[in-house]
Amino acid sequence: MAQTQTLQVDPTLMKRLKKFGAFDVGACFDCGNCTAICPLSSTSTVFPRKMISYAQLGLEGKILESPDMWLCDYCGECSRTCPRQAEPSEFMMAARRFAVSKYTPTPISRMIFSSNAFTLLFMSVTALIPIGLFAALTIPSGPQSANMFSFIPEDLIHYAGIGMGLAVGLAVLIGVTRMHRRITSGMRLAGQKGPGLKEWVKQLVPTVFKESLVQSRSKECKTNPTLSERLTGRWFNHMTIFWGFLGLLVSTALRFLVVPTNGNVVPLTDPVRLLGTASGILLTYGTLGIMVARLTKSEVSTKHTLFTDWVFLVLLLLAGLSGFVLEAFDYGSMPWLTDSALAAHLLVVFELLILAPFTKFAHAIYRPFAIWIARAYQRI
């Protein structure tokens, strides 16, 4: 039997959601077309219609307790066919941003999503951290030095990266824990029996493989795509970014733990170098593809782009390009330019990581985790 629940109504919820990108969902008159047209919606996951109704009624708690916002793949089909131009797909993305701002342990996410000025201020202030370290710890390099890390010790960079990764991981872990608590609480209140450990373990592997490594649900939104659509579409671009970023993470870890360079130039045929280069190409290709789609507004899902979306994409692109520039200067034995390129690359990566728990980057963790919960509770 479902438990009773006291619902708290917030009449300002719609106004607050608009700050996160929910454009004109107030125009919705509950026709249900968005749910009917959605290839991923089902009898157990009636989205976007149900989520929009929660927002119109001011039920913030119900939004945060539902995994449905994370099940949406943002294909834009519902917005394309909406008779009221209420932009239901944009609402689903706004609901995600809103949820991230509620799950993260600080108000930083809410302020970043709702204020462009704060985003720039936050990035400017946090940039002072690596710049200060560069100024304090820089080792002067002679004009003939060919050692990349004559600028700043290689071990220091790696240990700083580990520290940053742990801090980011802790923030994400807190957010994921809060999301799990809210969603599972909502499931129990709806009368759904919680899964046992066996079911959680059973659903873990298909979730990791299908939703993270392959992102198979995305392909369900497009039937019989052409080769061109495969190589330029959202799914392929997202996959190249994901695998590119993962490859760069692995190559960096291998370089630190297994085969450190000690600042020396590594041959282009070095396996770890090849992995890093190939991953950089994937990351750059996918990022450029998404940027072009957003600039040309070639898809319904790219019609609206928030400032924070551009910040994320620009940082990704700069991370890839600055890595290639750094390699070129290093192989060309240009110490001063190598040092400058290394400083720029590290600064970009630092900004990308420190923003990760509070921006769209966090979706890469929250979405698979929410889908795992939905699978365990047999919602999908």
Q: Is 42:90 a contact under the CB 8 Å cutoff? A: no
Query: Of how many residues is the chain composed?
Result: 380
User: Is residue 48 reached through a cis peptide bond, with omega within 30 degrees of 0 on the bond before it?
Assistant: yes
Report residue 208 as tokens.
Answer: 């990791």
CA distance 260 to 255: 5
Q: How far apart are the first and last CA of the chain?
A: 21
Residues 6+ apart with CB under 8 A from 285: 237, 240, 244
Q: What is the reported pLDDT for 145?
A: 47
Lowest-confidence region among 14-18, 140-144, 176-180, 254-258: 140-144
pLDDT band at 372 (very low <50, low <70, confident <90, very high): very high
Q: Is 89:127 a contact under the CB 8 Å cutoff? A: no
CA distance 96 to 113: 11
311-370 pLDDT per residue, tens = 999 999 999 999 999 888 888 878 788 888 888 999 999 999 999 998 888 888 999 999
Exposure string over 194-211, b if 16+ CB within 10 A, otherwise e: ebeeeeeeebeeebeeeb
Q: What is the reported pLDDT for 138?
A: 62
CA 308 to chain centre: 11
Look at residues 63, 68, 67, 72 and name the one whose alpha carbon lies nearest to residue 40: 72
Choice between 145 and 193, residue whose per-residue pLDDT is larger: 193
232-263 pLDDT per residue, tens = 678 889 899 999 999 998 998 887 777 666 66
Q: What's the sign of the alpha-carbon dihedral 74, 78, 84, 85?
A: positive
Domains, the chain: 13-103 (1.10.1060.10), 108-376 (no CATH)
Q: What is the reported pLDDT for 227?
A: 58
89-121 pLDDT per residue, tens = 999 999 999 999 999 888 999 999 989 999 999
